[in-house]
């Protein structure tokens, strides 16, 4: 007498091996694409000379002005006075009329000092200086 095997599983069987193969192929592709992009920047190419040449990222760089609790104005880690700040702002606006400026004032700084820095920004023709804050929890 021939006995038929009893099927205990009636569900669908999914094979994960092809999915893992595709995952590894995608991973290798993106790793190679990223390294090729970096290698293009590091190639030794003699670039031509231009009068007004500048990297694209320099045109959209945001200028961050920090005012500490004592009212000192700090840009790029260096303390500047009013004349130095005015010169930096005017130079940035001369290069890019839509220069983005972020003002970060310590909460203990008197508002008069913040208003003075905003006045210098407006005097240098900065369109919209941005006051930076943190979200309340």
The domain limits of the chain are 57-131
Give the pLDDT score at 88: 92
Binning pLDDT at 50, 70 and 90, where does residue 20 land?
A: very high
Each residue of 47-79: pLDDT tens digit? 667 676 655 555 567 888 999 888 889 998 889
What does the pLDDT read at residue 21?
A: 94
pLDDT per residue as tens digits for the range 96-123? 888 899 898 888 888 889 899 999 999 9
Q: What is the distance, to the nearest Å, from the Cα of residue 23 to the centroid of all Cα atoms in its chain?
A: 29
DSSP class of residue 3 equals P
Question: At 26, is the secondary structure helix, strand, or coil?
Answer: helix
**8 versus 86: which is more confidently predicted?**
86
What's the pLDDT score for residue 41? 54
- What are the tens digits of pLDDT across the range 36-47? 655 555 555 556
- 3-class SS at 75? strand
Comparing 113 with 12, the larger pLDDT belongs to: 113
Greatest Cα pair distance, the chain, in angstroms, is 105
**Where does 57-131 sit in CATH, by number?**
3.30.420.270
């Amino acid at each position: 007498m021939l006995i038929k095997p009893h099927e205990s599983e009636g569900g669908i069987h999914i094979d994960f091996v092809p999915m893992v193969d595709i995952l590894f192929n995608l991973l290798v592709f993106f790793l190679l694409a990223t390294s090729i992009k970096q290698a293009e920047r590091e190639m030794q190419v003699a670039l031509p000379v231009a009068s007004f040449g500048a990297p694209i990222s320099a045109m959209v760089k945001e200028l961050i002005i920090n005012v500490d609790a004592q009212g000192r104005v700090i840009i790029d880690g260096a303390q500047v006075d009013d004349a130095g700040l005015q010169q930096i702002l005017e130079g940035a606006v001369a290069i890019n009329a839509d220069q983005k400026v972020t003002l970060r004032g310590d909460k203990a700084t008197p508002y008069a000092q913040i208003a003075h820095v905003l006045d210098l920004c407006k005097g240098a023709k900065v369109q919209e200086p941005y006051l930076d804050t943190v979200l309340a929890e």
